[in-house]
């Protein structure tokens, strides 16, 4: 089941990032460093949303630190760390969905309601980033695809040079990376379609995805 969970998380990463960008005035909730670019555009064009974009990285950093500390303490206690961290992410995504739906439309990106909604979603995706690094480190990243695409191209270059990759059990790294990128891209497309059809109600999908992730993690941990 462990090979399916990273693919699901990649889909969720693309979905939440796209839905957040569309609904929250250009806020990247997963790829938080992308907000450096969009906050610059906000200042140049005089659009709203600068507050959430400026706060996204500090919230991300604090949440990842807390997630790392919690993961260590849970590991010492021999608790099911991955499931607990996914459960926390589920709660944050559910809270973000409730806020986005109840406060719709979020027409002013600098309004406190929009800022809180965005930062709750940033915290949720920070948990996903942290649990990936700590508990799924052998899988491709699920929220940022640039490095993965670079690695795919380098491996394809090796194939053209007829360099044989090291033998590994299960799907090859190239296949796993390609699946991660494809899943992320599909998540982006589905989020765009759902947002066009249902507006902020599209935020109801990520909690369902992480619920499935909890099931997969439970199967993996026995």
Mean of the per-residue pLDDT values for the chain? Answer: 91
Indicate whether 141 pLDDT > 90. Answer: no
What was the pLDDT predicted at 169?
A: 54
Indicate whether 44 pLDDT > 60. Answer: yes
Rounded to two decimals, what is the model's pTM?
Answer: 0.91
Mean pLDDT calculated for residue range 1-22: 91
Closest to 58 (Cα-Cα) out of 10, 149, 122: 122
Contact 138, 2 (CB under 8 A): no
Residues constituting the chain: 222
Specify the 3-state DSSP secondary structure of 180.
Answer: helix
Mean pLDDT calculated for residue range 198-206: 97
Supply φ then ψ for residue 165, to 5 degrees. -70, 155
Between 191 and 133, the higher pLDDT residue: 191
What was the pLDDT predicted at 46?
A: 85
pLDDT digits (tens, 9 = 90+) for 69-108: 999 999 999 999 999 999 999 999 999 999 999 999 899 9
What was the pLDDT predicted at 1?
A: 47
Lowest mean pLDDT among 14-18, 106-110, 162-166: 162-166
CA-to-CA dists, residue 97 to 8, 64, 68, angstroms:
19, 21, 25
CA-CA-CA-CA torsion for 109, 97, 213, 58, nearest 10 degrees?
30
Contact 71, 131 (CB under 8 A): yes
What was the pLDDT predicted at 129?
A: 93
Indicate whether 9 pLDDT > 80. Answer: yes
Closest to 194 (Cα-Cα) out of 15, 13, 12, 8: 15
Supply φ then ψ for residue 163, to 5 degrees. -85, 120
For residue 122, is the peptide bond before it cis, meaning its omega torsion is within 30 degrees of 0? Answer: no
Tokens of 198: 């249902």
Q: Tell me the range of 41-50, 167-176, 193-202 where mean pLDDT is highest.
A: 193-202
Mean pLDDT calculated for residue range 130-153: 88
What CA–CA distance (Å, rounded) separates 147 from 207?
27
Contact 36, 23 (CB under 8 A): no
Indicate whether 114 pLDDT > 70. Answer: yes
Specify the 3-state DSSP secondary structure of 170.
Answer: coil
Closest to 59 (Cα-Cα) out of 137, 117, 132: 117
């Amino acid at each position: 089941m462990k090979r399916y969970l990273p693919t699901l998380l990649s889909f969720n990463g693309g979905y939440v990032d796209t839905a957040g960008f569309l609904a929250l005035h250009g806020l990247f909730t997963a790829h938080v460093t992308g907000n450096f670019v969009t906050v610059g555009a906000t200042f140049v064009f005089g659009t709203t949303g600068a507050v959430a974009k400026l706060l996204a990285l500090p919230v991300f950093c604090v949440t990842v630190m807390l997630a790392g500390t919690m993961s260590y303490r849970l590991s010492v206690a021999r608790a099911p760390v991955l499931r607990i961290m996914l459960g926390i992410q589920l709660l944050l995504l559910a809270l973000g969905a409730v806020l986005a739906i109840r406060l719709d439309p979020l027409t002013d990106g600098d309004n406190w309601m929009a800022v809180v909604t965005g930062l709750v979603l940033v915290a949720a995706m920070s948990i996903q980033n942290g649990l990936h690094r700590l508990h799924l480190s052998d899988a491709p990243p699920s929220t940022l695809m640039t490095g993965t695409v670079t690695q795919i191209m380098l491996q394809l270059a090796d194939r053209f040079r007829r360099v044989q990759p090291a033998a590994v059990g299960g799907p090859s790294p190239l296949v796993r990376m390609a699946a991660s990128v494809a899943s992320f891209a599909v998540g982006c497309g589905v989020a765009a379609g759902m947002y066009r059809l249902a507006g902020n109600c599209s935020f109801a999908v990520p909690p369902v995805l992480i619920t499935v992730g909890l099931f997969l993690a439970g199967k993996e941990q026995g």
